[in-house]
């Protein structure tokens, strides 16, 4: 049975689209049951509607507290068949911190993508912060979500060269290509039950140690990407 999945978005939803595309290609054994956004004009909602997936705008400003907003999200997610036993929640550009109450409803079942090599450059401007700092390697991370921003155990990371003087937008565009590879890959492993957490270490069963990119897109990804998830 496909893993029930809820996706939370606040913007364009390109990572949502990458997940939907891999599900359609038969590479992720999951079904997106509902897409929620705290922004009524988020294009991610339209991406869901184009696939006949339930899309719900839930403005956080309509709620008296963060706890009340998150409680309603939990109710809606559960109502549509996503629970901690069999399902998962993916954050795809969701620009709000989740409350402890939300995370307790889905322990070790909430995942996020961040455009930096954590623990470096957490926060909302990961790629821009990396470019401004002058790093020579940048990248992205998929991690389980805990109560601290961009802090939970890392599932998979991808690194790309950062060029001196390169602006944050150019670096973010190259990182985004790999976000669209590693996020679906991580969700595929989660759906197959291949991920476990020991202390802060995420173990991914039966994976290659690393994937090296090409001249067209130099990168290093660990654990290694499987065929079908590699950049083209």
Residue 44 and residue 58 in one domain: yes
pLDDT of 5: 98
**Mean pLDDT, residues 88-113:** 98
- The secondary structure element, H or E, covering residue 178 is helix 168-191
Question: Is residue 3 very low, low, confident or very high in pLDDT (cuts 50, 70, 90)?
Answer: very high
Region 25-45: what's the mean pLDDT? 98
Segments forming the whole domain that contains residue 189: 113-232
| Co-location of 102 and 121 in the same domain | no
Residues 94 and 24 in one domain: yes
97 token code pair:
């911190």
> Among 114, 125, 180, 201, which one carries the catalytic annotation?
114
Q: What is the pLDDT of residue 60?
A: 97
pLDDT (0 to 100) of residue 21: 98
Final residue before a domain boundary, out of 56, 85, 107: 107
Last residue of a domain, one of 42, 72, 107: 107
- Residues 38, 78 within the same domain: yes
172 and 153 co-located in one domain: yes
Choosing from 50, 79, 107, the residue where a domain stops is: 107
Q: How confident is the model at residue 94 (pLDDT cuts 50, 70, 90)?
A: very high
Specify the CATH number for the domain of residue 208. 3.40.50.170
Q: Confirm whether 180 is a catalytic residue.
A: no
Reported confidence tier of residue 92, pLDDT bands at 50, 70, 90: very high
Task: List Cβ<8 Å contacts ≥24 apart for 68-77.
Answer: 69/38, 70/98, 70/99, 70/101, 70/102, 71/101, 71/102, 73/8, 73/36, 73/102, 74/101, 74/102, 74/105, 74/106, 76/34, 76/36, 77/6, 77/34, 77/36, 77/106
| Long-range contacts at 76-79 (CB < 8 A, ≥ 24 apart) | 76/34, 76/36, 77/6, 77/34, 77/36, 77/106, 78/105
35-48 CB burial, b ≥16 within 10 A, e <16: bbbbbeebbbbebb
Q: What's the pLDDT at 50? A: 98
When pLDDT is averaged across residues 170-185 and rounded to a whole number, the result is 97
Task: Place 229 in a pLDDT band, splitting at 50, 70 and 90.
Answer: very high
- Is residue 10 domain-shared with residue 101, that is, in the same domain? yes
pLDDT digits over 193-224, tens only?
999 999 999 999 999 999 999 999 999 999 99
Residues 210 and 126 in one domain: yes
3-state DSSP call for residue 189?
helix
* Residues 220, 142 within the same domain: yes
Does 75 share its domain with 124? no
**Do 1 and 45 share a domain, yes or no?**
yes
**What local confidence, expressed as pLDDT, does residue 181 receive?**
98
Q: Please, which pLDDT band fits residue 83 given cuts at 50, 70 and 90?
A: very high
Q: What is the pLDDT of residues 113-160, one digit of tens each?
A: 999 999 999 999 999 999 999 999 999 999 999 999 999 999 999 999
What mean pLDDT comes out for the span 59-76?
Answer: 97
Do 122 and 220 share a structural domain?
Answer: yes
Would you state the pLDDT for residue 168? 95
Same domain (yes/no): 59, 143? no
Residue range 95-116: average pLDDT? 98
The mean of the pLDDT values for the chain is: 97
The number of folded domains in the chain is: 2
């Amino acid at each position: 049975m496909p893993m029930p999945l809820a996706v939370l978005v606040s913007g364009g939803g390109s990572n949502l689209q990458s997940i939907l595309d891999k599900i359609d290609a038969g590479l992720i054994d999951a079904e997106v049951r509902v897409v929620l956004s705290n922004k009524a004009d988020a294009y991610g909602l339209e991406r869901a509607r184009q696939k006949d997936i339930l899309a719900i705008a839930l403005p956080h400003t309509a709620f008296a507290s963060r706890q009340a907003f998150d409680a309603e999200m939990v109710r809606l997610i559960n109502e549509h068949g996503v629970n901690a036993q069999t399902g998962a929640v993916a954050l795809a550009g969701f620009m709000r911190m989740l409350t402890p109450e939300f995370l307790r409803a889905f322990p070790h079942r909430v995942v996020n993508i961040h455009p930096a090599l954590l623990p470096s450059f957490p926060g909302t401007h990961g790629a821009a912060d990396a470019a401004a700092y002058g790093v020579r390697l940048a990248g992205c991370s998929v991690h389980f979500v805990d109560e601290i921003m961009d802090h939970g155990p890392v599932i998979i990371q991808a690194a790309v060269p950062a060029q001196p003087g390169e602006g944050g937008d150019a670096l973010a565009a190259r990182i985004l290509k790999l976000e669209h590879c590693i996020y679906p890959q991580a969700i595929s492993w989660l759906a197959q039950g291949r991920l476990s957490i020991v202390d802060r270490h995420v173990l991914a069963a039966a994976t290659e140690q690393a994937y090296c990119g090409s001249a067209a897109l130099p990168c290093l990804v660990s654990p290694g990407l499987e065929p079908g998830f590699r950049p083209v």
